[in-house]
Amino acid sequence: MMFIHTKEKALSETQCQKIINFINSSKLFPSHGNFSNYNGLFNINPHTQEWTPILYEALEEYKKQHPFLQDSCEWRLNSMCNFQKYGSNKYYWSEHCEQGPYPDDYRRMLAWMIYLNSIEKEGGTKFPQQNFTAPARAGDLLIWPAAWTHSHHGTKTTKTKYIITGWCSYIEKAR
């Protein structure tokens, strides 16, 4: 079992194109000159989007596949996610996981991503430890554990790639 859930065509091509148009027209979408792999990154609240119910539904499907997540720990969808745009020949090449030592990421327990455009034969996300590469298909939503067991990286593409990515985290409790 890979623990990588794929909900194919979770968003329609029309929904994906609407988000891409927003990204491309937004003056709020900065260019990060200090990241050679990004053209831009824009933070949004995933709780207030047109596609929020689709994401909640996919998270419920994931919980049903893994009952431990329903009964043994409290967690929730984070209040921030990212719209990301990678230009031609730019991609997140560094193998990484979504959990780490910083306050924003040490409680992360799941990661999720939605591809906004299709890129044939390239542009996907490779999970080396699972020997699996998810293809970049518009509307596909992926959910996976945020820990080191699911390190991943983008694959090279000569086309522009658009994604939405975010996390679910454990709820912090007082001891």
pLDDT tens track for 46-87: 999 999 999 999 999 999 999 999 877 899 999 999 998 888
The domain spans of the chain are 5-24+37-170
pTM (two decimals)? 0.91
- For the record, the structure tokens of 52 come out as 């929020």
How many angstroms separate the CA atoms of 7 and 119, rounded? 17
Q: What angle do CA 163, 134, 56 make, to 5 degrees?
A: 55
Most confident of 19-28, 37-46, 64-73: 64-73
* Lowest-confidence region among 11-15, 115-119, 129-133, 157-161: 157-161
How many angstroms separate the CA atoms of 51 and 115, rounded? 13
The CATH T-level fold of domain 5-24+37-170 is Jelly Rolls (2.60.120)
